[in-house]
Amino acid sequence: MKTDFLVIGSGIAGLTYALKVAQEFPQKNITILTKTQSDETNTKYAQGGIAGVTDFDHDSFEKHIKDTLISGDGLCNEHVVEIVVKEGVQRINELIEWGAQFDREPDGDYKLGKEGGHSENRILHHKDVTGKEMERALLEAIRRAGNIKLINHCFVLDIITQHHLGYLVTKSTPDIECYGVYVLNLTTKKIEKISASITLLASGGNGQVYRSTTNPAIATGDGVAMVYRAKGRIENMEFIQFHPTALYEAGVRGQSFLITEAVRGDGGILRNAAGEAFMERYDERKDLAPRDIVARAIDNEMKINGTEFVYLDCRHMDQEKFLEHFPNIYAKCKSIGIDVGKDMIPVSPAAHYSCGGVKTDEWARTSIKNLYAAGECASTGLHGANRLASNSLLEAMVFAHRAYKDSIALISNISKEHRQAVIPDWNAEGTTAPKEMILITQSLKEMKLLMSDYVGIVRNNERLSALIVGWIFFTKKRKHCTKSWKFHHNCVNCET
Ligand code: FAD
Ligand code: SIN
């Protein structure tokens, strides 16, 4: 298959880019690939909303910039922060033009929520299901566009570069180029090749690397892994953000239900096992301190008290208002026997967001030619060590737009050699089908355990060393690879 523009991922980043290039180039083909159903994305589960300066009477770009920098712990790229905050408002307006609806006050102004680290109310939301509403509006706009093909159940495996054309590619190869991708078609179970002039990687996050996460099953970091294998640049992967308040449900594995930070923005209070409102002991901003501080405080309280959760107390809040703003959370709690007006909600931190990823410049260009990256898989420099709440959807839109702008010039400069390159079929040599899936599912469980226990919210040298020892044991036990403790690309012994 050949396409002009190839988009990997159907979340906010991929869909925004696809819509824009489709509008600009009605004669060209745009193909979006997605691993499962088109709406099964991190985007769909976003609750709190999208941050943006819309109320200029109380708020300003300067305040949003300052909040983002403080939250990022001194490691944000200030120029990128300015770009996102200032351009974000136009992107939010486009989203509204595409049909997304945000809650409004009776006078027509937007209802603006507040979350940890924000000095002002600036978060536009659609009750507590903002992402679902955005994904709905974007997918409807995609269906209306005539030149976009959205293909579900296509698992992208590898980015095609000169390596696949028979050349040696290393991390120091200057002009690595992307020619398209190899894809496992989950319907036909065949591996197919797709050539593309321009590819956008919008494959989302990697929360599923941990045992407890707010991310759905699709969030396994595939895009970052592909770029790493293709010898592209990756950065800041150590900055995994843990959300302080995932609903604690004993025995629930996989995706944890989120209790949005906006609940604390509306007055919810964290309490430990003894009922003490402990956040004031950790930070003067109490329950609305930036996310990393709150998550570490909860982790500490749980360790001191030997508990698996703390409580979020909403009993004092106006219950009618709670139900109006958070109907989804109210219903979920009710379904497991928690009456938010009478009972405290058990919560614990869970892996939530990857601040690092594929390194991009201010036009979303990666280190690989003809390959852009936007959304959670990209590392733009916005978040530093800790993302400010509700800045992710904003960043995804801003950089999808910038990738589109840059693509306008790039598409007319794609060389004939690139377009006509002969891509070989997928080489399955050395791979075997597992006789029993347990070999894979057990390895996955072990990896999640190791990551959660040793590379969690608080890390130290001892735990990281223990991880490496565990990893050696784990990989040797798996396949007796004698080369080293690391996995190897295309190594039969490692079964990567
Ligand atoms: P996603 O929306 O995750 O989409 C990824 C896409 O890539 C999917 O279509 C997937 O199928 C596809 N994909 C992945 N791997 C492959 C592969 N190998 N082959 C083919 N396709 C592939 N941020 C905010 O700003 N505000 C919020 O209120 C907010 N709340 C959140 C609540 C929850 C529970 C979660 C999990 C996240 C929240 N976030 C929030 C973060 C935000 O939702 C995400 O960072 C953002 O939606 C990511 O968008 P994306 O387009 O980059 O990726
Ligand atoms: C939330 O609603 O608490 C999540 C917001 C975010 O991840 O930005």
Q: What is the CATH number of the domain that holds 267?
A: 3.90.700.10
Q: Which of 349, 369, 392 is the last residue of a domain?
A: 349
Residues lining ligand 1, CB < 6 A?
8-14, 33-36, 41-43, 45-50, 130-131, 154-156, 202-205, 214-215, 218-219, 222-223, 258, 353, 375-377, 390-393, 396
- Which atom of ligand 2 is the closest one to the Cα of 389? 8
- Ligand 1 center to residue 203 CA distance, Å? 7
Atom number, ligand 1, closest to the C-alpha of residue 392: 25
| Predicted pLDDT at 431 | 83
**Domain membership flag for residue 424:** no
Task: Evaluate whether residue 428 is within a structural domain.
Answer: no
110 and 77, same structural domain? yes
Structure tokens at 319: 């219950």
Least Cα distance to 246 among 402, 340, 318, 350 occurs for 350
208 ligand 2 Cβ < 6 A: no
For 111-131, what is each residue's pLDDT tens digit?
A: 999 999 999 999 999 999 999
**77 lies in the same domain as 98:** yes
Given ligand 2 and candidates 261, 292, 388, 392, which is best to mutate, with the most ligand atoms within 8 Å of its CB?
261
Domain-located, residue 477: yes
455: containing domain:
438-487
Per-residue model confidence (pLDDT) at position 253: 81
Half-sphere exposure of 246 (CA within 13 A, CB side): 28
**pLDDT tens string 416-430:** 999 999 999 999 888
Ligand 2 and 261: CB distance under 6 A? yes
User: What does DSSP assign to residue 341?
Assistant: T
Q: How far apart are CA 154 and CA 167, in angstroms?
A: 27
Query: Considering the domain boundaries, does residue 379 fall inside one?
Result: yes
Atom of ligand 1 nearest to the CA of 393: 25
What is the per-residue pLDDT for 432? 83
Identify residue 21 by its one-letter amino acid code: V
Q: Which ligand number lies closest to the CA of residue 399?
A: 1
Q: Is 285 helix (H, G, I), strand (E, B) or coil?
A: coil
Instruction: Kindly give the distance from the C-alpha atom of residue 216 to the centroid of ligand 1, in angstroms, as a whole number.
Output: 9
Do residue 372 and residue 321 come from a single domain?
no
Mean pLDDT of 172-194: 96
Q: Ligand 2, closest atom to CA 387? A: 8
How far, in Å, is the centroid of ligand 1 from the Cα of 42? 3
* Residue 493 domain-assigned (yes or no): no
Q: Is 390 in the pocket of ligand 2 (CB under 6 A)?
A: yes
Is 45 within 8 Å of 214 (Cβ atoms)? yes
Spell out a b/e string for 46-80, using b for 16 or more CB atoms within 10 Å of the CB, else e: bbbbbbbbbeeeebeeebbbebbbbbbeeebbeeb
User: Ligand nearest 350 Cα, by number?
Assistant: 1
Residue length, the chain?
A: 496
Considering the domain architecture, whether residues 68 and 151 belong to the same structural domain is answered as yes
The residue-averaged pLDDT of 34-56 equals 97
Mean pLDDT score of the chain:
94
The verdict on 313 and 392 lying in the same domain is no
Could you say which ligand is closest to the alpha carbon of residue 352?
1
275 and 184 belong to one structural domain: no
Distance 390 CA to ligand 2 centre (A): 5
Average pLDDT, stretch 328-345? 98
Does the pLDDT value for residue 318 go beyond 80? yes
Tell me, yes or no, whether 321 and 218 share the same domain. Answer: no
Q: Which atom of ligand 1 is nearest to the CA of 34?
A: 21
Together in a domain, 182 and 297: no
Q: Which ligand is nearest to the CA of 387?
A: 2
Q: Which of 122, 264, 291, 296 is catalytic?
A: 291
pLDDT score recorded for residue 247: 98
Q: Is 340 helix (H, G, I), strand (E, B) or coil?
A: coil
Task: Please tell me whether residues 94 and 231 are part of one structural domain.
Answer: yes
Residue 477: the pLDDT is: 53
The answer to whether the CB of 240 is under 6 A from ligand 2 is no
Q: Which atom of ligand 2 is found nearest the CA of 115?
A: 3
Do the domain assignments include residue 494? no
Tell me how far the alpha carbon of residue 436 lies from the centroid of ligand 1, in angstroms.
Answer: 31
Tell whether 364 and 473 lie within a shared domain: no
Domain tally, the chain? 3
**Does 475 have pLDDT greater than 80?**
no
180 shares a domain with 123? yes
User: What pLDDT is recorded for position 290?
Assistant: 95
Give distance in angstroms: CA of 467 to centre of ligand 2.
29
Pocket lining: 377 vs ligand 2, CB cutoff 6 Å: no
Give domain status of residue 119, yes or no.
yes
Residue nearest to atom 6 of ligand 1 (CA): 9
Confidence label for 492 from pLDDT (cuts 50, 70 and 90): low
Identify whether the C-beta of residue 119 lies closer than 8 Å to the C-beta of residue 67: yes
Collapsed DSSP state (helix, strand, coil) of residue 401: helix
Least confident among 62-66, 381-385, 463-467:
463-467
What is the rounded CA–CA span in Å between residue 349 and residue 214?
9
Convert the pLDDT of each residue in 276-302 to its tens digit. Answer: 999 999 999 999 999 999 999 999 999
- The share of the chain scoring above pLDDT 70, in percent, equals 95
Decide which of 435 and 418 is more confident: 418
Q: Is this prediction's pTM over 0.85?
A: yes
Domain boundary (289, 324, 349) is at: 349
387 flagged as catalytic: no
pLDDT at 41: 98
Atom 2, ligand 2: which residue's CA is nearest?
A: 48
Q: Which ligand approaches the C-alpha of residue 34 most closely? A: 1
Using the predicted structure, report yes or no on whether residue 354 has a pLDDT greater than 80: yes
Is-contact 153 36, C-beta < 8 A?
yes
Say how many Å lie between the CA of residue 298 and the centre of ligand 1: 25
pLDDT band at 484; cut points 50, 70, 90: very low
What integer pLDDT is reported at residue 485 of this predicted model? 45
Domain edge (last residue) among 349, 375, 392: 349
Q: Following DSSP, what letter does each residue of 244-268 receive, concatenated?
A: EEEEP-TT--EEPPB--THHHHTT-
Q: Is residue 338 part of a domain?
A: yes
User: pLDDT digit string (tens) for 218-259?
Assistant: 999 999 999 999 999 999 999 999 999 999 999 888 899 999
Residue 215 alpha carbon, nearest atom of ligand 1: 36
Q: In what order do the strands lie in the sheet with 378-379?
A: 234-235, 357-359, 378-379
Q: Do both 333 and 470 map to the same domain?
A: no
Q: What is the per-residue pLDDT for 360?
A: 98
CATH number, domain containing residue 61: 3.50.50.60
